[in-house]
Structure 1
Amino acid sequence: MTGDRGLGTGDSRTHRRALFSAVFVTVLWSSSWVVIRVGLDDAGLAPITFAGLRYGSAALLLLAVVLARPVARRELMALPRVHLGRLAALGVVFVAVTQGAQFVAIDHQPAATTSLVLSMTPLLVAAASRRTLGEAPTGAQVGGALLVAAGAIAYFSGSLGATAIGMVAAGIGLGSNVVAALMGRWVNRMKHSLPLVTTTVSMTVGAALLVVTGLAVEGVPEVTAKAVAVIAWLAVVNTAFAFTLWNHSLRHLTATESAVVNNTMLVQIALLAWVFLGEAPSPVQIIGIVVVSLGVMWSQRR
């Protein structure tokens, strides 16, 4: 089985483009972990409010783009109530819960620890996608997911610096990330709305919930010039652009494929931490990186 057959298109070229787009998005998202750490530590932003400002700014930008495009604007205004509800639910799970939990986890423990927990996403998605989406994962996809998990464990076999709050938040992030992967694939496979509209509606709902929660729990933030720069970069490039491209790729990839590609962020985050934070990996961790890479490649075998 391939990602194309899951969609019934049989277009391998389209599938390859979607795969490349998905990998590129993970590069942007991986860089976010470094930028988020800067926002939390250097700019003094509280995690939930930080997440809300990031996704809220991105949602406003996307909404402006939608309103400026006649086709997208008409589609937004004509969305059926049922589909609007689906997009809202996706926003709650994928933006409010998943991203909010991730910010809290990063704030309370090393980013590597949270990455390890989230690396289990492909395994759970592979187990659930057959029953929920009718997408039976192939042996290669399951084997690839197992290799990714094994590599992640090898990489993070040292001291993880876990905390109770951090692990609870990471666990919530893991569960909601699995649900979001399945929901995102289900919503985008229907093709009831353009990727831009899908992203705008879901992100607006999720961001609004994050902002309200952040203000209620953490209070009104003090936004410095550095915080503005961090939020602007994350909102425009790593959120508005990246999420739109990701939703487009989900139209041509299976849930298992998208989850495994998403998990390449383990390797990317490790490399970025090495380059920008001076966290050089040990020999065992390098082996873990190689195993993760092999797992991703193996999952794409046809």
Structure 2
Amino acid sequence: MSLGVTMAENVPSAHLRAVLQALLVTFLWSTSWVLIKIGLKDIPALTFAGLRYVLAFMCLLPLVLWSGQGRQRPYRMIQQLSRPDWLRLIVLGLLFYSVTQGAQFLGLDRLPAVTASLLLSFTVIVIALLGIPLLSEHPTRLQWGGIGLYLVGVLVYFYPVSIPTRQIVGLIIVLIGVFANSYSTVLGRDINRRATISPLIVTVISMGIGAVVMLAGGIIAQGLPSLSLQNWAIIAWLAVVNTAFAFTLWNHTQRTLTAVETSIINNTMLIQIAVLAWLFLDEDLSGREVFGLVLAGVGTLIVQVQRRRVT
């Protein structure tokens, strides 16, 4: 009897632990925006992004080399990858890391963190729309309502439209990143649907390819400046804690949390970033802008939750 009670008590505690761990991950990811804005004062955007993800790749590489046993070792699975598999991983790495992450850093160099975050949340909407021709997934009526609510939120946030030229360039760069991120997400789902490559291998290989290309491009185009101890500390924290550790912990929580719970927790980042930017970057928001953020956040949440329930 006592054993049954103990097991019943462990279930909610394990679930609560997973929720708290997922919230910790979203908090770490949200702090990345603040750290990136601080680092961009001294480090060129593409070089900065390349250094972060090359170091993160080096942290995750041991998991590929030494985890598993026998034929289940990831590096043995890599040896069995076909040419089409490698082509998909290369395209995924270039899209999700070289283009998407590069655009995020370049955009943050020109835009307030909250504005860039709001625009990047448009990824959810684009994925839903891309799912129609590419995955034969048609949005429900409620999802269309969520898309409309998001667009209303964006209009409320930016009204009246008065954007400096530098920020217009930033908006264009971030929107390029949004479409690259959206397509790479659809491509990633297609790769995972085939179930022939483990998620760890997909992440590590695509990250390594995309990060090396991004770092090389950054050094060629922007150079590698002399970095201070603080610069290296920011890069190391972003790579080791906010990327390698957070990725590992997030995947661990997915064994316990439902897709709907994951969507809700992930969606809190929009508000977290706004609060952190206000506290540490002096990015003040008016009541209208906060209202626009809330509308956009609810809109993307509706689209995500409905999509995951359907799939």
Given that 1:57 and 1:235 are in contact with CA atoms closer than 8 Å, whether structure 2 keeps it comes out as: yes
Classify 1:298/1:110 alpha carbon distance in 2 versus 1 (closer, same or farther; 3 Å).
closer
SS in 1 for 2:40: helix
Cα-to-partner distance string for 1:154-210 (whole Å, 9 max, x where unaligned): 234365545243233223212212212211222222222222111100000000101
Name the counterpart of 2:40. 40
1:64 to 2:88 alignment: no
Given that 2:267 and 2:297 are in contact with CA atoms closer than 8 Å, whether structure 1 keeps it comes out as: no
SS in 1 for 2:107: helix
Given that 1:113 and 1:160 are in contact with CA atoms closer than 8 Å, whether structure 2 keeps it comes out as: no
Given that 2:270 and 2:297 are in contact with CA atoms closer than 8 Å, whether structure 1 keeps it comes out as: no
Name the counterpart of 1:8. none
SS in 2 for 1:172: helix
Given that 1:113 and 1:156 are in contact with CA atoms closer than 8 Å, whether structure 2 keeps it comes out as: no
Q: After TM superposition, give the deviation of residue 280 of structure 1 in Å.
A: 3.7
Name the counterpart of 1:238. 242
1:205 to 2:209 alignment: yes
Given that 2:118 and 2:293 are in contact with CA atoms closer than 8 Å, whether structure 1 keeps it comes out as: no
Classify 1:253/1:202 alpha carbon distance in 2 versus 1 (closer, same or farther; 3 Å).
farther
Name the counterpart of 1:88. 90
Classify 1:293/1:219 alpha carbon distance in 2 versus 1 (closer, same or farther; 3 Å).
closer
Classify 1:199/1:244 alpha carbon distance in 2 versus 1 (closer, same or farther; 3 Å).
farther
**TM-score normalized with structure 2 length:** 0.78
Name the counterpart of 1:169. 173
Identity %: 43
Whole-angstrom CA distance in 2 between matches of 1:18 and 1:176: 30
Classify 1:241/1:88 alpha carbon distance in 2 versus 1 (closer, same or farther; 3 Å).
farther
Cα-to-partner distance string for 1:226-263 (whole Å, 9 max, x where unaligned): 111111111112222444566786xx869xx97x9866
Whole-angstrom CA distance in 2 between matches of 1:106 and 1:222: 21
Name the counterpart of 2:224. 220
Equivalent runs, 1:28-177 vs 2, <5 Å: 28-41=28-41, 44-70=42-68, 71-157=73-159, 160-161=163-164, 163=166, 164-177=168-181
Classify 1:151/1:162 alpha carbon distance in 2 versus 1 (closer, same or farther; 3 Å).
farther
Whole-angstrom CA distance in 2 between matches of 1:187 and 1:297: 24
Name the counterpart of 2:5. none
Q: After TM superposition, give the deviation of residue 264 of structure 1 in Å.
A: 5.0
Cα-to-partner distance string for 1:45-92 (whole Å, 9 max, x where unaligned): 110000000000001111122112142222223222221221111110
Classify 1:86/1:177 alpha carbon distance in 2 versus 1 (closer, same or farther; 3 Å).
same
Given that 1:62 and 1:200 are in contact with CA atoms closer than 8 Å, whether structure 2 keeps it comes out as: yes
Comparing 141-150 with 231-240, greater Cα deviation is found at: 141-150
Name the counterpart of 1:10. none
Q: Which of 1 and 2 has greater Rg? A: 2
Name the counterpart of 2:8. none
Note the aligned Cα RMSD (angstroms).
3.2
